[in-house]
Amino acid sequence: MAYFNVVRTCFGAGSLGLPLAVSQTGIVLGPILCILIGALIIHTHKMLLECLNEISRHLRIPHISYRYGFRIALLHGPPVLKCVGEYGPAIIAVFMVLSQLGICSVFVIFTADSLKDIMDWTSINYALAALFIPYLLLEFSMKNLNIVSYVSMAGNLMAMIGIILVFYHIFADPHGEYIAVNFSPFSVLFSIGTFFFNMSAVGVVLSMDKNLINPDIMVSRYGAINVSGTVAVLVCTIFGALGYWSFGVMEENVLRSLPFDDNSAMAAIGLYLIAIAFTYPLQCYPGVQIMIEVLRNYEDRHQLSDANFKVIEYIARPVFVLMTFFISYCVPFQGPFVAFVGNLCTTLLSVVFPAAMELCLMYPENFGKYQYYLVKNLIIIILGVISWVFGVAFSIYIIYVRVLSSRTEDEFTFV
């Protein structure tokens, strides 16, 4: 299951936007960037688990969470980072919740776009209105993680069938016009954010590490991160390159380039719609649980019983769904929003923070020969911060331009 859960990250809704990401940098540079980002993600995922395992060994406890491991690591580091370490759990919690909120919003945008295309509606708002109650019912019917996991597995199976149908159409009638290389920094930042969003599986990796009897399965040479991560990266790279080669520049995701008069194309869209809807509760679950965990560990909180936390959870779940639909209504553009979430959350959670943790744990005299670990982690942190600052700014600019271009002055009502 550990190997399977890491591989399945390449079959989500965001993966359908990989051809769009490749189109921004070209048929040559795009796959190269995809492989490089994938290799970086594999390395930093292993780095994160090794840091958490090292902290656990020193504290003589079986497991420590990302939130508190980040705090302990930074408190061990240079004095300038200790003030950040004090707020480490809050920082990780905020970005984890934002990440899950962003992923769930992408799922809603994708399914709303798919339903709009199937029903031939003129506005995505009709699809959002039609999906809101089913998503609420789906969220409330998933009473525990076991049920959520089984439903999510069914969704993954349908997504795999859907991607097979997409590959069929990729080779059935390739007609795209493509460019070889585009070195525009804005296009590169857009692609990097999309690649980060699709190939990072920090939530899955942390969950597997916590629940496995033998956690070494994750970080060993032929472990789940190396093997399954490599498979996921290769599949994403091939899919992105072939999708761009076949369809050329596209709108939002590859499904919107399929022939709508073909039954197999409509079947692929329908399968993906159901598949992503089924995996939606699994992505909501960590976000809600993080908020509950923060309340449970808040030092100054009033004493709350388990019944109180149950009530809070029942309130938080529909609020979480409502927030994802509100975001999807305000920003109904899958492509730039995926790049925004990837640059905003994934660059920090999957790249910058793990590199900072390793740097702090090796501080001050264990950086290896020629200060190898110091130089390596500083380079990773600098690249991640550049992507975070400029990638987020450019993604917001694209979203702003698209919102302005899609709404006239009198479009202030829900139509």
Q: With bands split at pLDDT 50, 70 and 90, how would you rate the model's confidence at 298?
A: low
201 lies in a domain? yes
Q: What is the token pair recorded at 101?
A: 């909120």
Amino acid at 282: L
Q: What is the CATH number of the domain that holds 70?
A: 1.20.1740
Whether the pLDDT of residue 309 is over 60: the answer is yes
CA geometry: angle at 156 spanning 48 and 236, to 5°? 60
Mean pLDDT confidence for 296-307: 65
pLDDT given for residue 178 in this prediction = 81
Compute the distance between CA of residue 340 and CA of residue 346 in angstroms, rounded to an integer: 10
The secondary structure of 141-184 as a DSSP string is H--SHHHHHHHHHHHHHHHHHHHHHHHHHHHH-------S----
Are residues 285 and 148 in contact, defined by beta-carbon separation less than 8 angstroms? Answer: yes
Which of 112-126, 171-185, 355-369, 396-410 bottoms out in mean pLDDT, i.e. has the lowest?
396-410
Helices 185-199 and 18-25 cross at an angle (nearest 10°) of 150
The secondary structure of 262-320 as a DSSP string is -HHHHHHHHHHHHHHHHHHHHHHHHHHHHHHHHHHT-TTPPP--HHHHHHHHHHHHHHH
Whether the pLDDT of residue 410 is over 60: the answer is no
Closest CA to 31 of 172, 155, 181, 134: 181
pLDDT in tens, 78-112: 888 888 888 888 899 999 899 889 988 999 999 99
108 lies in a domain? yes
pLDDT given for residue 304 in this prediction = 66
313: exposed, middle or buried (Cβ count in 10 Å: 0-12, 13-18, 19+): middle
User: How high does pLDDT run on average in the chain?
Assistant: 85
Whether the pLDDT of residue 301 is over 60: the answer is no
pLDDT given for residue 414 in this prediction = 34
Whether a cis peptide bond, with omega within 30° of 0, leads into 62 is no
412 lies in a domain? no
Q: What is the token pair recorded at 353?
A: 């923070």
413 lies in a domain? no
pLDDT in tens, 158-199: 888 888 888 898 888 888 778 888 888 888 999 999 999 888
Give the chain's domain count. Answer: 1
Q: With bands split at pLDDT 50, 70 and 90, how would you rate the model's confidence at 322?
A: very high
69 lies in a domain? yes
pTM attached to this predicted model: 0.86
- Domain of residue 90, residue span: 2-406
- The residue ranking higher by pLDDT, 222 or 150, is 222
For 350, which DSSP code? I
- The residue ranking higher by pLDDT, 308 or 299, is 308
